[in-house]
Amino acid sequence: MSTNERLVLEPVTRAAGRLRLPGSKSISNRVLLIAALAQGATELTGLLDSDDTRVMLAALRQMGVRIDDIGRDHVRVHGANPFPNRSGDLFLGNAGTAFRPLTAALAVMGGDFRLSGVPRMHERPIGDLVDALLGAGAHIRYLGNKGYPPLAIGHGAFSGSRPIRVKGSVSSQFLTALLMAAPLHADTGNEVVIEVDGELISQPYILITLKLMERFGVVVQRQDWRRFVVPAGSRYVSPGRLEIEGDASSASYFMALGAIGGGPVHIEGAGADSMQGDMAFADVVEAMGAAVVRHPHAIEVSGAQVARGDRLKAFDLDFNLIPDAAMTAAAMALYADGPCALRNIGSWRVKETDRIHAMHTELEKLGAKVESGPDWLIVHPVRPGEWRSASIATYDDHRIAMCFSLAAFGPATVTIEDPDCVAKTFPDYFSVFKGLVQA
């Protein structure tokens, strides 16, 4: 039974079939902004249609960028640098992939902007990015609590004459934002150097940024993960057309379906040739006992049938590089043959919700023993006879909702509260899920 408020999932025993992934959120929002800043028009195909991309599209249009709708996942973006409208109040929901890069781009351009979002966005830290921009001469004010949105951006004297320093330990989106905005200053004939203080988390997401910038003609010189140089004279130039690959983070749920529901589950849209680091989740499900077949633009997973008593292999892994897909591993731990440890996941604390707290709380509802700390989570699988029916709170977090769909392979009923929160990245998730599973 399904309503807007909840979705009841009865126990299922098997999963098999084929699906095509929606477009990558990480790529979609990055490439929308870069295309809007590029010389020429860019046709984008495979664009994700979700809450996060809609707020980016709305913001760019509000800035005067012309964007033609050609088809369901197909747009043409006419570049405009600087944006025609140099003032505005932008509402960006809970989309970090829109809020952080737009903050940097508008700060470099200068103008009169106010950026805000939903209450949770105003609890997500942005101080490290703002500090880096202020240090380079940008003019930014906090409109609420220091270190957090909402923000006001004004006319500053942005300068790349000395290295811009940013902390890398909270979110890789801060470095991504600075990198994407840097060509706006380098275009004036100035080299831009960005240096990272401390450990840089989620490094594969920076590689996505660098590869997309290169597709638009900007080649960043990288020295390890500490120093990035955007050469003087760099500017974005449209490649004409770009196809957006499927979302690798979303692929993790279907890899898990193949691993715990027998499979084969054939996932189209992202594979061995993907630029997305989350495709490394295939190595995780393989280590847990699944059979994985990798194709350039697809992947196929087969595995155990946990509903008949099969068990996955337990793991103890560092998930710093793939924090979003790691949540799927936490749900798979329900079916493991021993405790599963997820380490170096401190970034979960500042995502759409405090994901360590949320996963700890909701996994326990199902009968699992769970331990957690500042940047780690240990999940003990549910013992036979100890599964409990549960109503899973989703905290307005799309990934919580999708992860806990995997609990349907247990013997108890699982109710997903607010299932529509998946609209942030995958509006059709539950209909695709139901098309692959069997009761």
Helices (H) and strands (E) in the chain — how many of each?
12, 24
Closest CA to 29 of 62, 52, 1, 2: 52
Q: Which amino acid is at 198?
A: G
Structure tokens at 220: 């960043």
Closest residue by Cα to residue 41 from 23, 63, 60, 67: 67
Phi and psi at 380, nearest 5°, equal -95, 130
CA dist 5 → 186, 359, 363, 415, 417 (Å) = 49, 20, 20, 10, 6
324 included as an active-site residue? yes
Cα separation, 260 vs 285, in Å, equals 9
The answer to whether 106 touches 128, Cβ cutoff 8 Å, is no
First to last CA, the chain: 14
Take residue 298 and report the two structure tokens written for it: 């697809």
Strand partners, 267: 19, 299
Q: CA 20, CA 298: separation in Å to the nearest integer? A: 9
What is the sign of the dihedral through the CA atoms of 394, 97, 44 and 19?
Answer: negative
49 Cα distance to chain centroid: 14
Burial (0-12, 13-18, 19+ Cβ within 10 Å), 241: exposed
Q: Which of 187, 324, 418, 420 is catalytic?
A: 324
**What is the Cα–Cα distance from 330 to 132, expressed in whole angstroms?**
34
Q: Which residues are catalytic?
A: 324
